[in-house]
Amino acid sequence: MGRFTFVSAIPILILPVAAYNLLVLTLGGGFWSVLAASRLTAPLFTLHTSAGGAWPVSTGDLLLCVAVFALFLDLVRASASRGWAIVNHALSMALFVVCLVEMLLLPALASSAFFLITLMVLLDVLAGFIVTFAGARDGG
Asked which of 42-51, 57-66, 123-132 is least confident by mean pLDDT, the reply is: 123-132
pLDDT bin (cut points 50, 70, 90) of residue 19 is very high
Count of domains forming the chain: 1
pTM of the model: 0.87
Q: What is the pLDDT of residues 34-56, one digit of tens each?
A: 888 888 889 999 999 999 999 99
pLDDT higher than 50, residue 1: no
Q: Is residue 2 part of a domain?
A: no
Instruction: Tell me which residue range forms the domain holding 112.
Output: 12-129
Residues 6+ apart with CB under 8 A from 68: 120
Q: Is residue 136 part of a domain?
A: no
Q: Is residue 121 part of a domain?
A: yes
Q: Is residue 134 part of a domain?
A: no
What's the CA gap between 31 and 15, in Å, rounded? 18
